[in-house]
Structure 1
Amino acid sequence: MKTKRICYACDLKDNPESIATYKRYHVTGNTWPEVTKNIKQAGIVDMQIYLTGNRMFMIMEVDETFDPNKKAKMDANNPKVQEWEQLMWKYQQGLPWAKKGEKWVEMEQIFQL
């Protein structure tokens, strides 16, 4: 199976307590099972989130079935995913150059060894 890597960035609100709470939600086993199931059903093979300060980087490995528009529709039609997204938005904030309401902004690859 051929995979593709997609990377995104998003900021957390710059508050140590808020960041700590967000991190606890993302410890293995704490993320809601409906959310992880939805991620896998969308064709996301692996997902990792890294944090420095309040800036996060998400690295996704997706298979050939992944379509971001299809994933957005799946998310919109899943009440538990919507509940998760609303909860996470309490801790997140858009990047300064993000479109209104946009959380995760796709990153441009500028180097590969």
Structure 2
Amino acid sequence: MKKHCLALDLKDDDALIAKYEEYHNNVWPEVLESLSNSGINHMEIYRVGNRLFMIIEVEDHFSFDKKAKMDADNDRVQDWEVLMWNYQQALPFAKPGEKWLPMNKIFEFGPPI
């Protein structure tokens, strides 16, 4: 099992942020199924201000490239991604087309959990 941490920003608008959180209280079943089918076992998203932080725990066979291909072939996931982009914005240093960016671990204390 592996863990990945990613970051993304939301548009800095309280109403849009509230709507984004509302959607995440009722994620579409097809999106959840796609996450599971891609090898993601557990996902958490945290927010501070308009910055999002995602932690995913994945199977050893998980691949971001494979997940991107699966997502591209899934109309319902594409509908979700288009909808979410109404609320999301790329990090200031992201390259064109990049959304969630992987974070580098810079510190760890204690035994792995």
Q: What is the TM-score of this pair, normalised by structure 2?
A: 0.95
What is the DSSP-based 3-state SS (H/G/I as helix, E as strand, rest coil) of the residue aligned with 1:36? helix
What is the DSSP-based 3-state SS (H/G/I as helix, E as strand, rest coil) of the residue aligned with 1:96? coil
* CA shift for structure 1 position 64: 1.1
Are 1:25 and 2:8 matched, yes or no? no
1:69 to 54, 65, 70: 65
* CA shift for structure 1 position 12: 0.1
* CA shift for structure 1 position 101: 1.7
What is the DSSP-based 3-state SS (H/G/I as helix, E as strand, rest coil) of the residue aligned with 2:71? helix
Show structure 1 runs of 4+ deviating over 2 A. none
Structure 1: unaligned runs, 5 residues or longer: none
Residues paired across the two proteins, number: 109
Identity percentage of aligned residues: 55
Paired residue type of 2:17: I
* CA shift for structure 1 position 82: 0.2
Aligned to 1:82: 78
Structure 2: unaligned runs, 5 residues or longer: none
| In 1, Cα distance between equivalents of 2:32 and 2:38 | 10
* CA shift for structure 1 position 65: 1.9
What's the CA shift string for 1:39-90, capped at 9, x where partnerless?
A: 0000000000000000000000001121111000000000000000000000
